[in-house]
Chain A
Amino acid sequence: MSIQPIIRVATDVGGTFTDMAFIEVGSDGTQIVRTAKTDTTPPNFEQGVLNVLERGRVEITEVGFLAHGTTVVINALTERKGAKTGLITTEGFRDSLEIARGNRPDFFNLHYQKPAPFVPRYLRRELPGRITYRGEERIPLDLSGLSAILDDFKEQNVEAIAICLLHSYANTRHEEEVIAAIKKYWLDVSVVASHQINREWREYERTNTAVLSAYVQPIAEQYLSGLESAMDRKGFMGNLYVMQSNCGVDNLSRSKRIPITMVESGPASGVLAAAELGKAIGEPNILALDIGGTTAKCSLIENSEVKIVSDYWIERTPSNAGYPVMVPVVDIVEIGNGGGSIAWVDEFEKLHVGPKSAGALPGPAAYGKGGVEATTTDANLLLGRINPEYFCGGEIQADVKASTDAVSRVASQLGIDMIEAARGIVRIANNNMTNALKLVSLNRGYDPRDFTLVAFGGGGGMHGVALAAELGVKKVIIPNGAAVFSAWGMIMSDLRRDIFVTQLLDLQNDAWRILDELLLQVEDQAIAQFASEGVSNDRVSFRHLAKMRYQNQEHSVEVEVPRRPLSKSSLSDLEIRFHEIYEREYTYRLQSPVEIVGIHVVVTADIGRFELSKVKVADAGCGPETAHKEIRDVDFAQEGVHSTSIYDGALLSPGMEFEGPAVIEDSGATTVIHPGNKASVDVFGNIHIVLTEDSNG
Chain B
Amino acid sequence: MDHRFTITVIQSSLLAIAEEMFAVLKRTAMSPIIYEVLDAGVAITDADGRLACSGAGIPSFVGVLDKTVKALIDNTELSSIHPGDVFCTNDPYQGGVTHSSDVILMVPVFAQNKLIAWTSNIAHWSDIGGATPGSLPTDAKDIFCEGLRIPMIKIIQAGNEIESVFSIIQTNSRLPDMILGDLWAGIAAARRGAIRVSELVNRYGVDIFQTAMEDSFYIEESRVKNALSKLENDTYQLESILDDGSIHLISVTIRDEMLLVDLTKAPDQHDGPYNTSRDSAMIACQMLLKVISTPKSPANDGSFRALKVLTRKGSCYDPIAPAAQGYYFEVRMSLFDMLLQCLSEGMPNLFPAGHFASICGTVISGIHPDHGRRFTMVEPQMGGWGASLGQDGVDAMFSLTHGDTYRCPAEISEARYGIDVDRVALNSSPGGDGQWRGGRGLEISYRMRGTGQLSVGYSRSVVPPWGLAGGGSGSVNFVELHKVSGDTIRYSSKSGILLDKGDIIRIRTGSGGGWGSKKLRHQSAIDSDLKDGINVSNEVL
Contacts and interface: CB of A to CB of B under 8 A. Distances in A.
B403 A104 contact: yes
B407 A588 contact: no
Contacts of B395: 98-99, 114
B539 interface: no
Given A92-B423, A109-B295, A102 B396 contact: yes
A428 interface: yes
Nearest to A168: B411
B396 A588 contact: no
A98 B410 contact: no
19 contacts: A96-B424, A99-B407, A103-B403, A104-B397, A108-B59, A108-B290, A108-B296, A111-B388, A113-B391, A114-B394, A122-B531, A134-B370, A169-B411, A201-B412, A348-B222, A350-B4, A428-B8, A438-B20, A587-B28
Contacts of A112: 394, 397
B414 A435 contact: no
Given A103-B403, A121-B533, A351-B8, 20 more contacts: A93-B423, A95-B426, A96-B410, A96-B424, A98-B426, A102-B397, A107-B402, A111-B352, A112-B397, A114-B397, A122-B533, A348-B223, A423-B2, A428-B9, A438-B16, A444-B23, A504-B415, A552-B32, A587-B28, A697-B203
**Pairs A-B, 10 closest by C-beta atoms:** A107-B403, A92-B423, A121-B532, A108-B295, A133-B415, A102-B382, A443-B23, A201-B411, A101-B406, A107-B59
B8 A350 contact: yes
Contacts of A554: 32, 35-36
Contacts of B32: 552-554
A348 B219 contact: yes
A414 B19 contact: no
Contact of B4 (A105, A120, A414, A432): A414
A94 interface: yes
B407 A102 contact: yes
Contacts of A389: none
Nearest to A113: B394
Given A122-B531, A122-B533, A203 B411 contact: yes
Contacts of A432: 12
A158 to B, nearest CB: 14
A440 to B, nearest CB: 11
A102 B352 contact: no
A326 to B, nearest CB: 11
A148 to B, nearest CB: 15
A48 B445 CA distance: 55
Nearest to A120: B532
Contacts of B23: 443-444
A246 to B, nearest CB: 23
Chain A interface helix/strand/loop/mixed:
loop
Given A112-B397, A202-B409, A590 B414 contact: no
Given A110-B352, A443-B23, A638-B1, A94 B416 contact: no
Contacts of A431: 8-9, 12-13
A631 interface: no
B271 interface: no
Interface of B: 1-2, 4-5, 8-9, 12-13, 16, 19-20, 23-24, 27-28, 30, 32, 35-36, 58-59, 177, 181, 184, 188, 203, 219, 222-223, 287, 290-291, 294-296, 340, 351-352, 370-371, 375, 382, 388, 391, 394-398, 400, 402-407, 409-412, 414-416, 422-426, 442, 445, 531-534
Contacts of A293: none
Nearest to B6: A427
A427 B27 contact: no
Contacts of B424: 92-93, 95-96, 99
A202 B414 CA distance: 11
Nearest to A552: B416
A427 B5 contact: yes
Given A122-B533, A592-B177, A201 B2 contact: no
B27 A590 contact: no
Contact of A133 (B8, B397, B411): B411
A233 interface: no
Contacts of B13: 431, 435
A186 interface: no
Contacts of A109: 291, 295-296
A591 B395 CA distance: 43
A445 interface: yes
B398 A103 contact: yes
Q: Which of B351, B370, B409, B422 has the most chain A CB within a 10 Å cutoff?
A: B409
A427 B294 CA distance: 27
A107 B4 contact: no
A120 B528 CA distance: 10
Contact of B5 (A105, A122, A424, A590): A424
B533 to A, nearest CB: 6
A105 B352 contact: no
B397 to A, nearest CB: 5
Contact of A93 (B9, B295, B370, B410): B410
Given A108-B295, A111-B388, A414 B8 contact: no
A442 interface: yes
A62 interface: no
Nearest to B11: A350
Contacts of B16: 435, 438
Interface string A164-198: 00110100000000000000000000000000000
